Chains A and B, each alone.
Chain A
Amino acid sequence: MNTVNIKINGNAYSVPSTYTVLDAARDANIHIPTLCYLKDVNEIGACRMCLVEIKGARALQAACVYPVSEGMEVFTNSPKVRKARKANLELILSNHDRKCLTCVRNRNCELQTMCEELGVDEIRYDGENKVYAIDSFSPSIVRDNNKCILCRRCTAVCSKVQTVNAIGAIDRGINTHIGSIFEKSLNEVSCVMCGQCIAACPVGALSEKDSTKDVWNAIHDETKHVVIQVAPAVRAAIGEEFGMEIGTRATGKMVAAIKRLGADKVFDTDTAADLTIMEEGTEFIDRIKNGGKLPMITSCSPGWIKFCEHNYPDFLDNLSTCKSPHEMFGAIIKSYYAEKMGINPADIYVVSVMPCTAKKFEAQRDELKGTGYADVDAVITTRELAKMIKECGIDFAKLADEEFDNPFGPATGAGVIFGATGGVMEAALRTVYEILEGKPMANIEFDAVRGTEGIKEAEVEVAGKKVRVAVAHGLGNARKLLDSIKSGEKNYEFIEIMGCPGGCVTGGGQPIVSARVQAQVDVKALRAKALYDEDRASTFRKSHENPAIKELYAQYLGEPCGHKSHDLLHTHYVDRSDV
């Protein structure tokens, strides 16, 4: 690698010639403040917070886009730099709706943090302060442009990473704002509700549609039997909301906390993930044996499903007909569980705690009401769960571990890895292999489908048949993969697609990690590790070995993909290509 010699604040460094000044400073542990910069996603030098002085340069330069060169001398901390940064920050604040106390991002806001770090002690300017209507028509995402600082991180994620292009910058000058074409609501365009824009937003301009009030109302309604189920990825991140390290596994504390909120039962969505594997695995074997539509593509991720419905209607028959795990669980809770416990399903209120905002949209789909009731009544994100726990005054970090409730109890390690990219594929292969081969596998860990590579491929020999599999996460990668299949360049039998980069562990409903921390650690890898650790620590690691699932089939469903399953656990999709 070519290097260049530069000086920062008088100290000499040798850095790769491809670096920007910001890269070089960060390597040298010199902090330069940024707002619009999001590593690898948005590097546009727009916010002017990272200004530095460069010897010989005409004006102050934006460190995030200014390349290093031999002999360069940089000053990151001179009086001129500090004064300019502070003035720019004050100008941003002049048009910002400064209602920090009631803001969803209070104490987790990059703008607020920067005000503290740069020593803003008065707001000298009062700007135009245009008033924008809040877009809250989407079931998943709320956009409040009064808080927007026009950093473009949301539009960059939406267009470059996800290739969804639901939002963009509109108009110019003081009228510039972020929105959808012809000022439509997010609900009226091809937004897939993945919430990656929320995760990218440095301030409170984007947030999930809050459902905590509905959940509190149900909990406080004595006629309701409230069941709260929790997705695998939530346990790998919820601790962060209470000061724990990224990647801390907090399963037991999370269960204990939810019980203290007043839920009647707390179940593990991993159980339903195991159920999904039974159904999806059986569906796959059937498609292989009987000439069904291939490749079969997983259907757990509602962001991915909506993306497919808008952009790739030709592939709708390739999607597994399986509902996503939490929807399956809702249907089972309102049928099998209701019968078993002697509760009227009308009195059961199912809450799903999800790392996902698209699940809020999914739960409202008309197709997902097979029992005559909505499978799931409310979806809250990991962040909303943390908020409820805080509202209850629960000291999360000090809770003793507790177990998920019966009759479903703990699930398998196969279910828990659903939360990381490649996990559904790995869980499915563990079961499909054993069903077809009729004997246990020697090594159940499929390294080829693990990791954070955008598209992963593998070939697995099952019962004398070669099965070509692929795993994609993030919708830009999904688009690439589908285009390569469409063009005939690639062929597969089985594909896993997750809408969010990294899979559910870094879903749009997860705790928000600042751009500064994101640049330092690989959040998706750390959270995924927590899930793979839980898999290894599990008594059962294959979905078909889950005792609760065996009992469910024996007592109620009969067989996977049977008549009852068809009614309760499978669904269909809608062509949305005209939107």
Chain B
Amino acid sequence: MSEKATPAFVMTKEQEEKVQQVIAKYKGTDGALIPVLHEVQEIIGYLPIEVQKVISEGIDVPMSEIYGVVTFYTQFSINPKGKYKIGVCLGTACYVKGSGDILEKIKQILGIDVGECTEDGKFSLEATRCIGACGLAPVFTVNDDVYGRLVVDDVEGILAKYMD
């Protein structure tokens, strides 16, 4: 039933201080959950169970609700992000132009599934909704770099730039 066993995440002292500051800022206000999740994800990079627990206790929102929100919105991640965050657009325009095949190729090269991170922590992979670059469809992004008008054979060369 359970997810893959991962070692317990422990926040650094600095991260913990920052997280507590975020909690203090929003504690007691209505609709605090989503802004808190955003800011905490900024600090930690993702939202593992240990961090969700701290938020739950901090702003008095049940874990079941937090987990529901985190899994509902694609911006939130329960898995660590890589140094290079790849986002493959699966919006309508990109999809009909073949971004599904591009995604498959990336998965195959990196050996990870959507939502996962390579073991060396270098690449993480997300499938995104429309990123508003339909004119360049199909597109994917690596951090802030956008690659467009792609065919499957372009993928290997682009990823190679980040492999070193």
Interface positions of A (Cβ within 8 A of B): 133, 135, 137, 155, 158-159, 165-172, 180-185, 188
Give chain B residues whose Cβ lies under 8 Å from the Cβ of A182.
2-3, 49, 67, 78
Give chain B residues whose Cβ lies under 8 Å from the Cβ of A168.
62, 64-65, 67-68
Q: Is the CB of A135 within 8 A of B65?
A: no
Which of A155, A166, A172, A181 gathers the greatest number of chain B CB atoms within 10 Å? A181
B126 CB → nearest A CB, Å? 15
In the complex, whether B63 has a CB less than 8 A from a CB of chain A is yes
Give chain A residues whose Cβ lies under 8 Å from the Cβ of B78.
182
In the complex, whether B9 has a CB less than 8 A from a CB of chain A is no
What is the chain A residue whose CB lies nearest that of B53?
A181
Give chain B residues whose Cβ lies under 8 Å from the Cβ of A181.
49, 52, 63-64, 66-67
Give chain A residues whose Cβ lies under 8 Å from the Cβ of B62.
159, 165, 168
Interface positions of B (Cβ within 8 A of A): 1-3, 49, 52, 62-68, 71-73, 78
Give chain A residues whose Cβ lies under 8 Å from the Cβ of B67.
168, 170, 181-182
B50 CB → nearest A CB, Å? 11
B69 CB → nearest A CB, Å? 9
Which of B3, B64, B65, B71 gathers the greatest number of chain A CB atoms within 10 Å? B64
Q: Is the CB of A170 within 8 A of B1?
A: no
20 contacts between A and B (CB under 8 A): A135-B1, A159-B64, A165-B64, A165-B65, A168-B65, A170-B67, A170-B68, A170-B71, A171-B71, A171-B72, A181-B49, A181-B52, A181-B63, A181-B64, A181-B66, A182-B2, A183-B1, A183-B3, A184-B1, A185-B2
Give chain B residues whose Cβ lies under 8 Å from the Cβ of A167.
64
* Extra pairs beyond A158-B64, A165-B62 (17, CB < 8 Å): A159-B62, A165-B65, A167-B64, A168-B62, A168-B64, A168-B68, A169-B68, A172-B72, A181-B52, A181-B66, A181-B67, A182-B2, A182-B3, A182-B67, A183-B1, A183-B2, A184-B1
How far apart are the CA atoms of A560 and B49 in the complex, in Å? Answer: 47
A402 CB → nearest B CB, Å? 44
Give chain A residues whose Cβ lies under 8 Å from the Cβ of B71.
170-172
What is the chain B residue whose CB lies nearest that of A163?
B62
How far apart are the CA atoms of A217 and B80 in the complex, in Å? Answer: 50
How far apart are the CA atoms of A155 and B62 in the complex, in Å? Answer: 12
Give chain A residues whose Cβ lies under 8 Å from the Cβ of B2.
182-185, 188
Q: Which of A133, A155, A165, A188 contacts B63 (CB 8 A)?
A: A165
Give chain B residues whose Cβ lies under 8 Å from the Cβ of A184.
1-2
What is the chain B residue whose CB lies nearest that of A135?
B1
Give chain B residues whose Cβ lies under 8 Å from the Cβ of A171.
71-72
What is the chain A residue whose CB lies nearest that of B68?
A168
A142 CB → nearest B CB, Å? 12
How far apart are the CA atoms of A446 and B78 in the complex, in Å? Answer: 53
What is the chain A residue whose CB lies nearest that of B63?
A181
Give chain A residues whose Cβ lies under 8 Å from the Cβ of B49.
181-182
What is the chain A residue whose CB lies nearest that of B52?
A181
Q: Rank and list the top 6 A-B pairs by shortest CB-CB distance, nearest first.
A: A168-B64, A165-B62, A181-B67, A185-B1, A168-B68, A165-B64
Give chain A residues whose Cβ lies under 8 Å from the Cβ of B65.
159, 165, 168
A487 CB → nearest B CB, Å? 15
How far apart are the CA atoms of A350 and B63 in the complex, in Å? Answer: 38
What is the chain A residue whose CB lies nearest that of B74?
A172
B115 CB → nearest A CB, Å? 11
How far apart are the CA atoms of A188 and B67 in the complex, in Å? Answer: 15
How far apart are the CA atoms of A129 and B33 in the complex, in Å? Answer: 32
Give chain A residues whose Cβ lies under 8 Å from the Cβ of B66.
181
Give chain B residues whose Cβ lies under 8 Å from the Cβ of A135.
1
What is the chain B residue whose CB lies nearest that of A180?
B64
B62 CB → nearest A CB, Å? 4
Q: Is the CB of A166 within 8 A of B64?
A: yes
Q: Which of A133, A155, A165 contacts B1 (CB 8 A)?
A: A133
What is the chain B residue whose CB lies nearest that of A177?
B71
Give chain B residues whose Cβ lies under 8 Å from the Cβ of A133.
1
What is the chain B residue whose CB lies nearest that of A137?
B1
Which of A155, A168, A170, A188 gathers the greatest number of chain B CB atoms within 10 Å? A168
How far apart are the CA atoms of A523 and B2 in the complex, in Å? Answer: 38
How far apart are the CA atoms of A181 and B1 in the complex, in Å? Answer: 11
What is the chain A residue whose CB lies nearest that of B2?
A184
Give chain B residues whose Cβ lies under 8 Å from the Cβ of A165.
62-65
